[in-house]
């Protein structure tokens, strides 16, 4: 079997593949048309961020069985199209966590001691010792936005520097953060208390422009901001004004909304109190070797032994199990994603109950799929079918799986309960026919909805005119409704409306929806597309 390495990769990756008995070609810098011509020869493809694995490429990949990304991000891979063709997509989510956290700490130190500015000054022939007065980090407070794996490593490094650590993460239980010596606080409090702030969250609809004008206004005038996570989490225009107007002391970015980044598309580069690097967070020899080793081993194991590791689109189950529970795996992932996007507060406990004939089957892959779906909205490509249970354990989330032979309404039922510090939500799903997943209950509301694609969940009073007003508002906002389901609660005269939309409802349009008469709340949901 043949493997193509189409992006720059540490040589150890190719060595591991060859030692396993695979034929390896290293051919980097291919134009899309060139890759399209040769991809049909290969059983495996190893990429980083340069190669774009599009539908067009996949149509020509007649023998391709696996694509391995040496790193985390998979924005350059058409995962739904690959899944349709039965191609496994793998990544190496933990290979560069330490490197990225260390880069954030390096940026903090460089900001504190004006190292880039002083270097540039000396290279211009100057000796400006008084100009570049710095400050110590000992005893200062580091605020961490996102206290997952990378944020946790950053916290431990900061604690080693004798810094106080606080964090904002609405999905992390308080007790779990406290175990690593981090105090959980609200975003506004973090901005006000921190001397330094570092961001470690993926780019999602929840985190897009999370750090913007109001956040910077709440920061101390001498506080410093660091982002080595993802471009777009920080509103760069708001950061520019905060730095220019002296609202904050300094900033360091490794990631940008538009990359490559130049003076033409980023005015931040004109400011003296701003330092930057060209997306170097994962760029160390150790990290590049780590991800090369991990992805090469994973691809060799899959092609030669059928072992699936760190796959983002297929669970590690045998064909016979997949045949039995496959549609419920899809349902589980849908319900998990739905839960996270409607949930408030840190998750403490999850209960997944299987009823009817489903209880007699191996339901472990469904529970794992549920966990993957649960964490995907907040962790994106860093979660997969292998590490989802580990993430739940690391976050101190109790996961309970229960079974019951009795089912009231359907032959098979999957009931998922997610308890948080703010309460509990219940979603119940089933599969119609052979492979049609459906959400049939949301808390006390009964309904029938396909939980897939962009959606809008609306809570409203059960009075005439609400649906019409809602449709008008969405239409004026340029959003088309493709499906609608109404769930009713007789005792309270409350309804929920679940809308499938052709495009994602914007924050501005959501605000208009929430302001309509008799609508009490609305939530935008971004679920994976589903094709039977």
Pair 321, 309 in one domain: no
Among 443, 478, 512, residue at a domain's last position: 443
Q: Specify the higher pLDDT residue, 294 or 385.
A: 294
Cα–Cα distance measured from residue 180 to residue 172, given in angstroms and rounded to the nearest whole number: 12
Neighbours of 43 (CB within 10 A): 18
| pLDDT of 315 over the 80 cut | no
461-489, pLDDT tens digit by residue?
999 999 999 999 999 999 999 999 999 87
Confidence of residue 319 (pLDDT cuts 50, 70, 90): low
Distance separating alpha carbons of residues 71 and 101, to the nearest angstrom: 15
Provide the percentage of residues in the chain whose pLDDT is more than 70.
Answer: 99
In this predicted structure, which of 53-62, 297-306, 309-318 has the lowest mean pLDDT?
Answer: 309-318
Tell me what pLDDT residue 234 has. Answer: 97
Q: Are 189 and 233 within one domain?
A: yes
Query: 82 and 118, same structural domain?
Result: no
206-242: per-residue pLDDT in tens?
899 999 999 999 999 999 999 999 999 999 999 999 9
Q: Which two tokens stand for residue 165?
A: 């650590």
Residue 72 burial (10 A CB sphere; 0-12, 13-18, 19+): buried
Evaluate the CA torsion angle 517, 522, 526, 529 in order and state its sign. negative
The residue among 518, 530, 512, 414 whose CA lies nearest residue 456 is 512
Same domain, 320 and 310: no
Check whether residue 379 and residue 422 sit in a common domain: yes
Distances (CA, A) of 319 to 201, 302, 315, 325, 414: 35, 14, 11, 10, 22
Dist CA 449 CA 268 (whole Å): 46
Pairing of strands 412-420, 436-442: unpaired
Residues 6+ apart with CB under 8 A from 446: 440, 487, 488
- Confirm if 60 and 82 have CB atoms less than 8 A apart: no
| Closest C-alpha among 9, 95, 149, 87 to residue 312 | 87
Residues 394 and 532 in one domain: no
- Span 186-215, pLDDT tens digits: 999 999 999 999 999 999 888 999 999 999
Q: Which residue has the tokens 């150790």?
A: 286
What secondary structure letter does DSSP report for 505?
P
| pLDDT higher than threshold 70 for residue 313 | yes
Tell which residue, 362, 350, 354, 353, has the closest CA to residue 326: 362
- Tell me if 167 sits within 8 A of 196, measured CB to CB: no
Contacts (Cβ under 8 Å, ≥6 apart) of 332:
352, 366, 367, 368, 369, 370, 373, 414, 416
Helix or strand or coil: residue 447? strand
Considering the domain architecture, whether residues 82 and 183 belong to the same structural domain is answered as no
CATH code of the domain covering residue 195: 3.40.50.720
Dig out the tokens for 525 from the structure. Answer: 């949901």
**Cis geometry, peptide bond prior to residue 478 (ω within 30 degrees of 0):** no
Same domain as 328, residue 304 = no
pLDDT at 433: 82
Task: Give me the pLDDT at residue 405, please.
Answer: 81
Tokens standing for residue 524: 């935008």
422 & 458 share domain? no
User: Can you tell me which residue has the tokens 């063709």?
Assistant: 85
167 and 270 belong to one structural domain = yes
Least Cα distance to 92 among 289, 254, 316 occurs for 289
Question: What does the pLDDT look like over 425-448, one tens digit per residue?
Answer: 999 999 998 789 999 999 999 999
Please state the domain count of the chain: 4
**pTM for this one?**
0.83
We report the CATH number of the domain holding residue 518 as 3.30.70.260
- What would the two tokens of residue 404 be? 């019951």
- Residue pair 89/69 in contact by the 8 Å Cβ criterion: yes
Q: How many angstroms separate the CA atoms of 457 and 343, rounded? A: 12
**Strands 445-449, 436-442: parallel, antiparallel or unpaired by DSSP?**
antiparallel
Mean pLDDT of 370-391: 91
Pair 266, 296 in one domain: no
Burial class (CB in 10 A: 0-12, 13-18, 19+), 284: middle
Distance CA 314, CA 19 (A): 26
**Integer Cα distance of 234 and 28 in angstroms:** 32
pLDDT in tens, 257-273: 999 999 999 999 999 99
pLDDT at 226: 98
Q: Dihedrals φ, ψ of 61, to 5°?
A: -85, 70
Q: What is the mean pLDDT of the chain?
A: 94
Condensed to tens digits (0 to 9), the pLDDT of residues 104-153 reads 999 999 999 999 999 999 999 999 999 999 999 999 999 999 999 999 99
Among candidate residues 466, 474, 515, the one with its CA nearest the CA of residue 494 = 466
Does residue 183 sit in helix, strand or coil? strand
Query: Both tokens of residue 280?
Result: 């170097």
CA distances from 354 to 18, 393, 403, 416, 456 (A): 44, 21, 5, 9, 27
Report pLDDT digits (tens) over 42-97: 999 999 989 999 999 999 999 999 999 999 889 899 998 998 888 999 999 888 89
Query: The domain containing residue 427 runs over which residues?
Result: 315-443
**Which positions are annotated as active-site residues?**
230, 259, 279
* 90 and 199 part of one domain: no
Query: Of 419, 443, 467, which marks where a domain is finished?
Result: 443
Cβ neighbours for 301, distance < 8 A, ≥ 6 positions apart: 307, 309
Whats the size of the chain, residue-wise? 532
Q: Which residues, listed in sequence order, are joined to residue 388 by a DSSP beta bridge?
A: none
- Whether 318 shows a pLDDT value over 70: the answer reads no
Q: Domain boundary at 393, 423, 443, which?
A: 443
For residue 493, the model assigns a pLDDT of 83
CA distances to 305, 441, 458 from 462, in Å: 57, 18, 12
CA distance 419 to 443: 12
Q: What is residue 454's DSSP assignment?
A: E
Q: What is the pLDDT of residue 210?
A: 97
Q: What is the pLDDT of residue 532?
A: 65
With 90 as the cut, is the pLDDT of residue 308 above it? no
Alpha-carbon 501 to chain mean position = 22
Q: What secondary structure letter does DSSP report for 225? A: E
- Domain CATH number, residue 390: 3.30.1330.90
Phi, psi (degrees; rounded to nearest 5) at 494: -115, 150
In terms of DSSP H, where are the helices of 26-73?
32-38, 55-60
């Amino acid at each position: 079997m043949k493997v193509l390495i189409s992006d720059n990769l540490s040589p150890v990756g190719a060595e591991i593949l060859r030692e396993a008995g695979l034929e390896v070609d290293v051919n980097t810098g291919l134009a899309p048309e060139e890759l399209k011509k040769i991809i049909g020869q290969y059983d495996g493809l190893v990429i980083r961020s340069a190669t774009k694995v599009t539908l067009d490429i996949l149509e020509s990949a007649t023998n391709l069985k696996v694509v391995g990304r040496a790193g985390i991000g998979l924005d350059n891979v058409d995962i739904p199209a690959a899944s349709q063709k039965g191609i496994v997509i793998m990544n190496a989510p933990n290979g560069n966590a330490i490197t990225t956290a260390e880069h954030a700490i390096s940026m903090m130190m460089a900001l504190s001691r004006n190292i880039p500015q002083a270097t540039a000054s000396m290279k211009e022939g100057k000796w400006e010792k008084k100009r570049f007065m710095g400050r110590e980090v000992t005893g200062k407070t580091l605020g961490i936005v996102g206290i997952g794996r990378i944020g946790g490593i950053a916290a431990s490094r900061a604690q080693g520097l004798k810094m106080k650590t606080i964090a904002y993460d609405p999905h992390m239980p308080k007790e779990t953060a406290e175990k690593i010596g981090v105090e959980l606080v609200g975003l506004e409090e973090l901005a006000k208390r921190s001397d330094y702030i570092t961001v470690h969250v993926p780019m999602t609809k929840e985190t897009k422009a999370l750090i913007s004008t109001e956040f910077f206004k709440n920061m101390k005038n001498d506080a410093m901001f660091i982002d080595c996570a993802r471009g777009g989490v920080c509103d760069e225009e708001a950061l520019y004004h905060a730095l220019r107007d002296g609202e904050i002391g300094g900033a360091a970015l490794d990631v940008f909304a538009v990359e490559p980044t130049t003076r033409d598309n980023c005015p931040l580069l004109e400011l003296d109190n701003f330092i930057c690097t060209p997306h170097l967070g994962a760029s160390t020899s150790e990290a590049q070797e780590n991800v090369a080793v991990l992805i090469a081993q994973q691809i060799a194991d899959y092609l030669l032994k059928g072992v699936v590791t760190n796959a983002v689109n297929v669970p590690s189950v045998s064909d016979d199990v997949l045949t039995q529970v496959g549609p419920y795996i899809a349902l589980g992932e849908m319900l998990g994603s739905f839960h996270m996007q409607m949930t408030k507060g840190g998750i403490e406990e999850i209960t997944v109950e299987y009823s009817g004939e489903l209880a007699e089957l191996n339901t472990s892959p469904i529970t794992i799929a549920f966990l993957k779906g649960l964490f995907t909205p907040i962790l994106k490509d860093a979660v997969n079918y292998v590490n989802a249970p580990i993430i739940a354990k690391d976050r101190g989330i109790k996961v309970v799986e229960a079974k019951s032979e009795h089912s009231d309404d359907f032959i098979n039922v999957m009931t998922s309960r997610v308890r948080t510090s703010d309460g509990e939500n219940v979603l119940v799903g089933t599969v119609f026919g052979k492979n049609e997943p459906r959400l049939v209950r949301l808390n006390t509301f009964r309904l029938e909805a396909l939980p897939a694609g962009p959606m809008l969940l609306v809570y409203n009073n059960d009075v005439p005119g609400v649906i019409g007003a809602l449709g008008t508002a969405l239409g004026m906002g340029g959003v088309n409704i493709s499906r609608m389901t109404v769930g009713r609660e007789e005792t309270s005269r409350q309804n929920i409306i679940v809308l499938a939309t052709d495009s994602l409802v914007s924050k501005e349009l959501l605000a208009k929806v929430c302001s309509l008469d008799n609508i009490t709340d609305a939530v935008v949901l971004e679920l994976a597309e589903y094709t039977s």
